[in-house]
Amino acid sequence: MKNFVPGFLIFLFYCMGCFLVLGYFFNDLKKDHEHIPSLHSTLNKNTTTPKKTIKNTTLIQEGIDFKENQNTIDSVRVESINTSDDEVPLSNQKETSNVKDIKQASLKYEALPFSVFNEASEAVVPCNLFTRIYKNRSNVKIPYACINYGMEIKKILTLYKESSLTLTGYSSPEEPSDLGKQRAEYIKKLLLGIGIDRSRLHTNASFQDINYINGVAKGGVLMRINNIDPLFTSIIPTNKEVTIKTTQPDGPYAYKKFTTGFKGDYFYSNQTFTSYISLVKSYLKDNPSKKIEIYTYTDPVGNAIDNMSISKTNSETAQRIVAQSGIPAHKIKSIAMGDKIVDGIGNNKCVILKVK
């Protein structure tokens, strides 16, 4: 028993010493563990995957500045903002503020004579004939009988200082979208040429279901005078028919219209023409005071200058053919009429021969 007590005490002290040593070691190991990052935390901080996803609304709200984050901005992926049905992202918007669809609903087309109307649709400068327009072309063929329309318009605009003229050009939906405007501008240019103030002339366009026949249609332009006295009716009496006709003299062989003998636009004569000239030659022998006048006309299609050139060529041809028949040259007079309207009957491309 005496030997047991001292031994037990020694063992007890030994155990206490061991616990102290182990406690100190484990406490120091815990502190070192706090300063050594784990592999898991290291990966989370130093790698760029997975990328952080934010919305650009967050960028605006938190006021993140690009310069301050230029070292990390590459690791940020911005999602597109979800928009409502009535919102369109800026990148998908189209510039439509200055782009207007000028394709209008087509209206039933009614060709009007080349008259000038007031706001009540009454003719103040009447003309019973029609202009002609050509498919896909801007020029407007004005009837020769209505050539004074410009001066009459000028008189009205001078009389009424607040008045103006609106020119509406028509085109079909199948034609170029600005063709109606071009047709109105064509007439405007002619009116400017006689000294009408540009500020008194306005142009616009309208789509109509125009029925072209062989590429030609009547009408094509509407002229309307604005801001004039509603009691003002017309410069020319409305019951006066404005036409131009070729005067037909009296007597045998006085008037003959030939619409054949053409190859294309040009006159080459034919058996009908030469046979008639033979009869005229015999008549002139018995009536030495009589002479021949030849008038050549073209169709209204094309440029007026070109048509006049064709008409002159045909006039020279017809005169040469008549002279070759034996009729003295001093008894033959040829006149080129270009594309002026003949008599409103049949084909306008013709040769007219008069004996007078």
* Residue range 64-75, pLDDT digits in tens: 343 434 333 333
- On whether the CB atoms of residues 157 and 167 are closer than 8 A, the answer is no
- On whether the CB atoms of residues 308 and 327 are closer than 8 A, the answer is no
Q: With 60 as the cut, is the pLDDT of residue 222 above it?
A: yes
- On whether the CB atoms of residues 115 and 123 are closer than 8 A, the answer is yes
Average pLDDT, stretch 216-225?
A: 92
Q: What is the pLDDT of residues 7-58, one digit of tens each?
A: 667 777 777 776 666 665 555 544 444 444 443 444 444 444 444 444 443 3
3-state secondary structure (DSSP) of residue 125: strand
Q: How many CA atoms lie within 13 A of 34 on its CB side?
A: 5
Asked if omega into 126 is within 30° of 0 (cis), the reply is no
Q: With 70 as the cut, is the pLDDT of residue 268 above it?
A: yes
Q: Report the predicted TM-score, pTM, of the whole model to 2 decimal places.
A: 0.41
Question: In 10 A of CB 279, how many CB atoms?
Answer: 12
Contacting residues for 326 by C-beta, under 8 A, at least 6 apart? 281
Contacting residues for 19 by C-beta, under 8 A, at least 6 apart? none
CA–CA dist 342, 318 (Å, integer): 18
Q: What pLDDT does residue 20 have?
A: 66
- On whether the CB atoms of residues 136 and 216 are closer than 8 A, the answer is no
Average pLDDT, stretch 220-248?
A: 63
Q: How confident is the model at residue 332 (pLDDT cuts 50, 70, 90)?
A: very high
Contacting residues for 220 by C-beta, under 8 A, at least 6 apart? 111, 131, 132, 133, 140, 169, 170, 183, 210
Structure tokens at 36: 């050594």
Bigger pLDDT: 337 or 45? 337
Q: What pLDDT does residue 102 have?
A: 39
Q: What pLDDT does residue 306 have?
A: 87
Lowest mean pLDDT, pick from 35-44, 115-124, 165-174: 35-44
Lowest mean pLDDT, pick from 32-36, 153-157, 159-163, 351-355: 32-36
Q: With 50 as the cut, is the pLDDT of residue 333 above it?
A: yes
Q: With 70 as the cut, is the pLDDT of residue 300 above it?
A: yes
Structure tokens at 162: 């607040």
3-state secondary structure (DSSP) of residue 134: strand
Summary mean pLDDT of the chain: 74
CA–CA dist 299, 8 (Å, integer): 144
Q: With 90 as the cut, is the pLDDT of residue 212 above it?
A: yes
